[in-house]
Each structure stands twice: as C-alpha cells, then as structure tokens.
Chains A and B, each alone.
Chain A
C-alpha cells in the first residue's frame, strides 16, 4: 500500500503532464468568444421569439387555415352530401309514383268488382242462380279482402322503403330494416285468405 506522499507525488507528475498539454491561455480567444456572445444577444434583441412580425405571421396562417377548412366543408356539403340527398329524394319520388299507379289500378279493379256485383244482384232468376250469386258474392268479397290487404301492404311498403332509403347510410340499420321487412312479409303474418293462395298451401 502506498502512503499519502507517494500518492501526492504521482498526482504532481500527472499535473505536470496535463499542464504541459493544456492549450495556452489567450485572452484574445476569450475576447472573440465574448464578441460572438454579444452578437448573439443583440440578434436575440432584434429578433425576439415573440416579435410582432412573428405573431402577425402566425395569426395570418391560422386565419388562412380556418378559411380553407371552412371553404372545404362548404364545398363538400354542396357537392357530395347534397348530391346524396338529391339521389335519395329522387328514389323516394319514384317509389311514391309507383305506389300511386298501383293504387289507381286497385281502385279501378274495385270499381269493376262493384259493377259485377250489381249486375249479378239484378239477375235474380231461380235457386241455382241465387246460389251462383251467393258464391260469386263470396268470391268477390274474398277478392275485395285481398285488395284491401294489398293496399295496406302497399302503404306499409311505402313507409318501409322510405326508411330503407334513409337507412342505407348506416349499414347496420339497413340490415335491420331488410330483416324486419322480410319478417313482416312471412306467411305466418299473412291473413288466412292470402295464406291459402301461397304455393304449397292447402
């Protein structure tokens, strides 16, 4: 183990080596650094971080950005979204026109049936004719019931179609609407008269 004096001697040798290796002291070098620092400080004073020019530039940029975004929003609404609205409105109108046509045809049919009933009621000759009249009347009644059912279904379909067009924007709602519609038209929900007309029913 070395004592303190030996250690001190070693450190003295080390100090000699390092002192010789040190760059010479130049006050000029410090003066140059000082001048550079002063210049940097002056630059900071002339161009501070929150100068009026910078603030104005930042505000102008923010306003421009907001304007561009607003413009884009308005343009998008007037083109994409609006065209979507027009298409759905057009489809709805087409559906309504179709429904009106079918209603017109049904009312014509109803009128014809009423006329047939009146004609048959006027021809009261014999028991056979009476029986034929009764059976014809019941058949007419059935046809009328069927007509009424078709009409009510039409009105339901019209509302469902409107909802369907509106729901196409959301796929889940669209799927639900399709399923509910299919369930509503299933044979179990039909009245007995309609059910008997379906293929395979007794």
Chain B
C-alpha cells in the first residue's frame, strides 16, 4: 500500500495533466476522474500485471475512467433532458469551486491550438510532447496500433503547427 502511495504521489502531477486532456480541459471533472482512478487502484479493481511501466498503466486506468465518466454523464444528461436546455453548460461551470489554472500567453495559445485538434490527435501529441513518452507507449496507453498512433502523431503535429501560426497572426 505504501509503495502504491509513493508511486501515485510521484506521478500525481503528470497524471493530473493527462486527466485534463482526457476530460477536454475540464478541471473539476479531471480531479474527480483522477480520484476515481486512484480508488480503482486501491480497491484492486485495476491490477498492475507488470506488462508495461507503472506510468503507462496508470495513464490507461485514467483514460478508461474518464471514458466511463463521460458515458455516465451523457446518460445522465439524456435522462434528465438537460441536453435540451441551453443553460445547462453555464450552470456546471458556475458550481465548480476550484481555482482556475493560470497560464501565460504561450501556454494559452498552445491550449487553444490543442483544443482545435481531434481528441485522438490531442491525446497522442500530449503523451509524446508533454509526457515525453514514445509513440509505441502512447499507442499502448490509448489501446491502438503503433501505425495509427504514428498517423495521429504526424497529422496532429502538422495541424498544431498550422493552428499555432494562425493564432500568432493578429
């Protein structure tokens, strides 16, 4: 248990960044997903088989937890018919009591460009550039083939450059 605590504490910052990407930049959801992922690890619902690095395994758990959370939210939204109400999105932003992350100008530009990429491209780019993992490790975390991961990486990188140039122009 102490080992798990240490591992989680060591990767906590990186895990939070990855959770943010998996939750499309929603901080409160990312925090929630991260805690649920940790809970899975403590409960033994997610077991490390030693086939990959601890970090890759942790990121996989976070990605799956985020997907489950997104599905659950969608079902809840459909059942409560909140998707029909335009004010639904505004109210969720208001209730989040967390302090916003303060970015400088370059980081804000990068975030804006990243948000224009597709979800898969954003995740691959994040894993390679932000987490400094290899493309094969990224493919393993995302559960896709290396070929697909490479395609997403190349296209995402090209798109990101174009978007960043667009943002720079006044």
Contact = CB atoms under 8 A, between A and B. Distances in A.
Contacts of B17: 14-15, 18-19, 22
Interface in A1-23: 1-2, 4, 7-8, 10-15, 17-19, 21-23
Contacts of B36: 33
Contacts of B38: 30
Contacts, number: 79
Contacts of B42: 30-31, 34
B102 interface: yes
Interface stretch (B4-12, B49-57, B58-66, B87-95): B4-12
Contacts of B157: 4, 7
Interface size class on chain A is 20 to 34
A28 to B, nearest CB: 10
Interface string A155-184: 000000000000000000000000000000
B107 A13 contact: yes
A31 B35 CA distance: 10
Interface string B15-52: 01100100000010001000110110011000000000
Interface in B62-107: 98-99, 101-104, 106-107
A25 B8 contact: yes
A45 interface: no
Contacts of B126: 11
Most chain A beta-carbon neighbours within 10 Å: one of B13, B31, B102, B132: B13
Interface of B: 5, 8-9, 12-14, 16-17, 20, 27, 31, 35-36, 38-39, 42-43, 98-99, 101-104, 106-107, 110-111, 126, 129-130, 132, 157, 160-161, 164-165
Interface of A: 1-2, 4, 7-8, 10-15, 17-19, 21-25, 27, 29-31, 33-34, 37
